[in-house]
Structure 1
Amino acid sequence: MSQTEFDAAIERTLIAIEDALDECEWDIDYERADAVLTLTLEDNGSQVILSRQTANRELWVAARSGGYHLAFENPGWKCTTTGEDLPTLLDRVLSEQQGEPVSLDLDL
């Protein structure tokens, strides 16, 4: 994957997450600074942070339960330790932090 392809994949992914959050029934705020997307659960103030790691060509997710590194494997991002795809991983960590099931219906 070239740098241009990696940057485009990150951009598409972050936009898709923002769109899913806009449609989500949960009160999850988000803030984006360049390629860092911070999700804040309003009920308890906990955060999940997604960030681009250019040197590794990975997307990292930081949550209360740990840090996760995702590599792009066509057709999407896959966690290098758990094997989860990004939508599954995000739903899981958000549900853990919310204390009840959260589904973003993220279509990547």
Structure 2
Amino acid sequence: MAPRIEAKACPTQGHRRHHARDTPGMTSRGLRARGLFLSPKARYHAPCARPAGRRAGPDGDERHTTDDEGIIMASDSDYERQAQAMLERIEQAIETHAPEIEFETEDEILTLEFPDDSRIIVNKQRPLKQIWLAARAGGFHYDYDTATGRWVRAGGHELLADLETFASRQLQKPVRLR
């Protein structure tokens, strides 16, 4: 019978991992005696049992899926409709609240140009059902959460709130888009 590997909080990675070294009989010497050999890295982190890919939503409906953080994802048609609506909402907000920011839309890519020639790029990523945002602060990926009706990234950060923050930094004055 194979020894059981316990899941413990990982002190170095900040997530739950299976630590072979913390489980009796799972030292490299004990595994070697059972005919198993571990690389130096694997001695500390046995494979983590995380589900791969996306799964059917909580209602069992495969048209709605959840990601690893439990965000209920949109179907293909919902994604298209919501992504296009968000890009149009950003354009309208820029026209209304930040006329000094120039913008251009081409092939589902919205480019915001600032007076100092810096840019923020917002674009649809159809295969992943995401909207991506690239700014001086970095690149960010947002999923549409059908439960809340918001575009969010890891940690619950919302697309429009992030865009306001990044645009304010690049314009060097407050920008309101909501």
Matched, 1:40 2:87: no
Structure 1 length normalisation: TM-score? 0.87
**Identity rate, percent:** 29
User: How far did 1:83 drift?
Assistant: 2.4
SS in 2 for 1:10: helix
- Greater fraction strand: 1
Map of 1:22-61 to 2, 5 A cutoff? 22-41=95-114, 43-61=115-133
Aligned residue in 1 for 2:78:
5
State the alpha-carbon separation in 2 of the partners of residues 25 and 64 from structure 1.
Answer: 18
Task: State which of 96, 99, 105 in structure 1 corresponds to 2:169.
Answer: 96
Which deviates the most, 17-26 or 28-37? 17-26
RMSD: 1.3
State the alpha-carbon separation in 1 of the partners of residues 167 and 83 from structure 2.
Answer: 20
Amino acid at match of 1:10: A
Aligned residue in 1 for 2:150:
76
Moved >2 Å (runs of 4+): none
User: How far did 1:22 drift?
Assistant: 1.2
State the alpha-carbon separation in 2 of the partners of residues 70 and 95 from structure 1.
Answer: 20
Stretches of structure 1 lacking an aligned partner (at least 5 in a row): none
User: How far did 1:26 drift?
Assistant: 4.2
User: How far did 1:54 drift?
Assistant: 1.3
**Bigger Rg, structure 1 or 2:** 2
Amino acid at match of 1:53: Q
SS in 2 for 1:13: helix
Greater relative contact order, per chain length (Cα 8 Å cut-off, separation 6+): 1
Conserved in 2, the CA contact under 8 Å of 1:10 and 1:35?
Answer: no
Change beyond 3 A, Cα 1:25–1:62: closer
